[in-house]
Structure 1
Amino acid sequence: MRPALQRRVQRYGWDYSSPYYETGWQQQLWPAQKRLLEKINFNRGDNVLDISCGTGLVTFPIVEAVGPEGSVTGIDLSEGMIDKATSLADKESVSNVSFQRMDAEKLDLSDDSFDVAVNSLGLMYYPDPDKAIREMYRVVKPEGRAATLVWGRRNKCGWNEIFPIVDRRVESDVCPLFFQLGTGETLQKTFKKAGFTDIASERFDMTLHFDSDEQAVIAAFLGGAVALAYRKFDDQTKEEAHAEYLESIGPYRDETGYDIPGEFVIVFGRKG
């Protein structure tokens, strides 16, 4: 898929999924995202950039970590995500956070502007993640920090059949290299190539719990990367795809719902 088309697909796909994202993923992803934030160890007063912020699942905890003397900017390609995050900030009267629609591969931000740049589970969707990491390096101040969280290896993520299930029904070419950044030392090498030093990484397993068939289906089809392709399905195709997906995660079902394995990778670096 051409990069411009891939960005457009991602933008409108996440616009469509924004009402469902928190229902499907907020509780499930928080343990991994919390681990990312703990790895960064924010200082009070830090000026932080949250890239691919979505509805603010990571942004608002960062606001708490940096305190009222700090500031946070959240950017995302999806207008739907930005609108939802902005509404929440307004509702909670959070004054030291702002949200903007922006392309992570071409940040409309000044050089050396932020103490910390964070990207939680966004890099896998970009046409050129190397370019996005170079942009992180550019906008971070000297001695500033950057950290990313990505999904790990495909065979360690129990929900991974969602991609071929969708592709068999509609030509989507969604995220063909989704798991590449979490394989081997790919992401660490990209950080080094961008110029970061003091690079550290952590690979870890976590279980994602879904209470019911409905929640698992919402997360997979409506709250994530395949949402735009899923819109093309008629009712019968949706039912067939749901059944096939639930069968694929069937081994992880028990009396409380689904406990699906997932692997994550955190990479941290400093701008020399």
Structure 2
Amino acid sequence: MDAKLQLLVQRRGWDIAASDYEESWFRQLQPATDKLLACADVQSGESVIEAASGTGLITLVVAELAGSGRVLATDISKKMLAQLNVAADAAGLTNIETVACNAEALATEEHFDVAVCALGLMYMPDPAQAIAQLSRALRPGGRVAISVWGERRNCGWASLFGIVDARVASDVCPMFFGMGAPGALAGSMAQQGFVDVIEERIRVTLDFPTDEAALSAAFLGGPVALAYARFDDETKASAHAEYLDTIAQYRGSNGYLVPGEFVIATGRKP
């Protein structure tokens, strides 16, 4: 897919997914969120830039940790940033600024103490460029923490992309699992000049209590939302049935327990 078209698809898709994203994924992503926050180790008074902040699943916590410091949250989706701003206001957090921009061209000339990107790199046409932009935005000695989904074979929900791709004209997320390969994320960070790079891998279980919860997370609250919105009722029904069939092996008496994997890498700008 052409890079400009991919960015357009991502922006429109996440605008559509914004209203369902947190309800579908907040609890499921908690292990990766907690690990990334621990690795970032944001201290009071530090300045933080976040790429692909979405609705602010980690932004609000980072802002609390930064205290007298500040957070610049960037995302390609204006609707997701609007939800983040509402949540920040409700929490009484005044140290968050939001900017709508592509992570491969961060709209800032400032230099920050910490850079984070939580599960956003997989959607970018040029993830190496996004990592380079995070480096550019850091002061010398600044820290970076990035998380991505792991290997396709370790993510029991991965059939989703093929199911959607079979019903649309082009790949929805052609390189989604690329950064999840062993050493891929750490290697790309090292190539962009980061040192002391450490890559960790964690296995999780995604818990969907009902068919409806599993389908909502897959089709409404994630990266295929734009393609799915264009399906007619018959196409939606066939996609639902096929997806549930692919995760049927993970169904038990309390719903679906679907395996997943995350990769978290940290580094430092010399």
The answer, yes or no, to whether TM exceeds 0.5 is yes
Q: Give the TM-score normalised by structure 2.
A: 0.98
Match in the other structure for 1:26: 26
Q: Does the CA contact (< 8 Å) of 1:211 and 1:258 recur in 2? A: yes
- CA drift of 1:92 comes to 2.4
Residue 236 of structure 1 is matched in structure 2 by: 234
Is contact 2:208-2:257 (8 Å) kept? yes
Find the residue that maps to 1:238 and give its secondary structure.
helix
Output the aligned Cα RMSD. 0.9
The match for 1:109 is 108
Residue of structure 1 aligned with 2:172, choices 170, 174, 177: 174
Give the whole-Å Cα distance in 2 for the aligned partners of 1:72 and 1:108. 14
Q: 1:65 maps to which residue? A: 65
Work out the CA distance in 1 between the residues paired with 2:257 and 2:2: 36
CA displacement at 1:27 relative to structure 2: 0.6
Deviation, structure 1 residue 259: 1.1
Shift of 1:251: 1.0
Checking the alignment, whether the CA contact within 8 Å between 2:16 and 2:225 is kept in structure 1 is yes
Secondary structure of the corresponding residue to residue 27 of structure 1: coil
Q: Is the 8 A contact 2:135 2:194 kept in 1?
A: yes
Alpha-carbon distance in 2 for matches of 1:215, 1:100:
31
Q: Normalized against structure 1, the TM-score is what?
A: 0.97
Q: Whole-Å Cα distance in 2 between the matches of residues 199 and 106 of structure 1?
A: 23
**CA–CA separation in structure 2 for the residues paired with 1:232 and 1:115:** 42
Distance in 1 of aligned mates of 2:145 and 2:79: 25
Residues 61-98 of structure 1, C-alpha deviations (whole Å, 9 max, x = no match): 1112222x121111100011011111111222211112
In 1, Cα distance between the equivalents of 2:185 and 2:35? 18
After superposition, give the CA deviation of every residue in 1:151-210 in whole Å (9 maximum; x if it has no partner).
110000000000010111112311111101010211111111111001111011011111
Q: Match of 1:247?
A: 245
| Paired residues for 1:116-135 under 5 Å | 116-135=114-133
User: Structure 2: how far apart are the matches of 1:147 and 1:214?
Assistant: 33
Distance 1:88 1:185 in 2: 35
C-alpha deviation, 1:9, in angstroms:
0.4
Contact 2:164 2:172 in 1 (8 A): no
Contact 2:99 2:107 in 1 (8 A): no
Q: How far apart, in 1, do the equivalents of 2:61 and 2:85 lie?
A: 15
Shift in Å, 1:240: 1.0
Alignment of 1:4-15 (within 5 A): 4-15=4-15
Given that 1:153 and 1:263 are in contact with CA atoms closer than 8 Å, whether structure 2 keeps it comes out as yes
Q: Find the residue that maps to 2:148 and give its secondary structure.
A: strand
May I ask how many residue pairs the two structures share in their alignment? 270
Supply the distance in 2 between the matched residues of 1:264 and 1:31 (Cα, whole angstroms): 9
1:125–1:175 Cα contact (<8 Å) kept: yes
CA distance in 2, matches of 1:159, 1:31: 17
Query: Which residue matches 1:80?
Result: 79
- Contact conserved, 1:208 with 1:259, CA < 8 A, in 2? yes
**Residue 136 (structure 1) aligned to one of 134, 137, 156:** 134
1:48 pairs with 2:48: yes
Amino acid at match of 2:136: R
- What do the CA deviations read for 1:223-242 (whole angstroms, capped 9, x no partner)? 11111111111011111111
Q: Tell me which of 200, 207, 212 is aligned to 1:202.
A: 200
Alpha-carbon distance between aligned partners in 2 of 1:232 and 1:265, rounded to the nearest angstrom: 32
Structure 1 residue ranges without an equivalent (≥5): none
The match for 1:99 is 98
Q: Which structure 2 residues correspond to residues 211-230 of structure 1 after superposition, within 5 A?
A: 211-230=209-228
Q: Following the alignment from structure 1 to structure 2, what is the Cα–Cα distance between the partners of residues 88 and 147?
A: 23
